[in-house]
Amino acid sequence: MKILIYGAGGIGGYFSAKLAKAVNEVTIYARGAHLKAIQESGISVKSIHGDFKAIPKLATEDLSKVEQPDLIILGVKSWQIPSAAEKLKPLLKKDTMVLPLQNGANNVEMLLNVIPEENVLAGLCLIVSYISGPGEITHAGHEPKIIFGEKNNERTQRVLKLSEVFTKAEISNLVPEDITLEIWKKFLFITTISALGGLARVPLGEIRESDYLLDIMIKTGKEIITVANAKNIKLNKSHLDLVMETIANLDPKTTASTQRDILTGKPSELENFNGYIVKEANRLNIPTPVNQFIYECLKPMEKQARIHLETN
């Protein structure tokens, strides 16, 4: 299978290395020193399950050099999806699968605004990983897993074949009964923890020490569930209980990637997390005061980060 990994950060880098190691025809789209290192020496993974290295068929920042792929895995941030889809559109065959693995609830919707519906799968991944140096990915936590499927949950031949490809590459994977629910379950976790961490500006352990901040987390999650239910998504209190249990057991030094982006003045996924909830709630005439407070407090900083990106 010809596979293009668009974006070789923590997610794209790890899964591109696993797929390339399994002798798939893998092309990596990357830039800068990271790209140069991959071109010269391949991509290295330092993993809690054992280090490994892989050589992709091609690593490039020039999409004109890329053969039309059978599968495109999006390894960029959720806010980058629209521009990525525009760049990738000329590469699509009628049967090319495009699989988003970003955090966020509306990645599929953003893709459908640009590329044909028949090309789009729905998905997410579970992994804690990041770029630790040029050409190097560190897998620091979680059993890596890709959860994916057709938007309508049909178990099509292409989905089953893709599951076999992932399994051959020793990537744990699941085609669930309800992919939208799975996406929102992760969205519930990441949105509950991320922006509040950016607002408090401290690691998770210090947030957990405050009953007040923990209560804000719970209220954030309850508002997300209310919006999800209004969209006929079967998120419920048991999912929030599991989120809070997970939060209680995380390393006290934990910071979410969106929190780190906020703290370092980079564009973040704020708009795709709390911002998305606020906008959907307004559309559905649902009050979400906690999510709106967090979003509005961080929005000016987010605006500055976007302006800085555009002018540099």
The string of pLDDT tens digits covering residues 175-206 is 999 999 999 999 999 999 988 998 999 999 99
Concatenate the DSSP letters of all residues of 137-198 into one string.
EEEEEEEEEEEEE-TT----HHHHHHHHHHHHTT-EEE--S-HHHHHHHHHHHHHHHHHHHH
Residue whose token pair is 């709630």: 281
Q: Tell me which residue of 141, 123, 144, 143 sits closest to 71, measured CA to CA.
A: 123
pLDDT by residue, tens only, the chain of 312 residues: 999 999 999 999 999 999 999 988 999 999 999 999 999 999 999 999 999 999 999 999 999 999 999 999 999 999 999 999 999 999 999 999 999 999 999 999 999 999 999 999 999 999 989 999 999 999 988 899 999 999 999 999 999 999 999 999 999 999 999 999 999 999 999 999 988 998 999 999 999 999 999 999 999 999 999 999 999 999 999 999 999 999 998 889 888 888 888 888 898 999 999 999 999 999 999 999 999 999 999 999 989 988 887 776
What is the C-alpha to C-alpha distance for residues 224 and 227, in angstroms, rounded to an integer? 5
Contact 21, 47 (CB under 8 A): no
- Residue 18 burial (C-beta neighbours within 10 Å; 0-12, 13-18, 19+): buried
- Residue 202, classed as helix, strand or coil, is coil
Q: CA-based Rg of the chain, rounded to a whole angstrom?
A: 19
Q: Which residues contact 310 (CB under 8 A, 6 or more apart)?
A: none
Cα angle: 249, vertex 103, 195; to 5 degrees: 65
What is the Cα–Cα distance from 211 to 24, expressed in whole angstroms?
49
* DSSP-derived secondary structure letter, 68: P
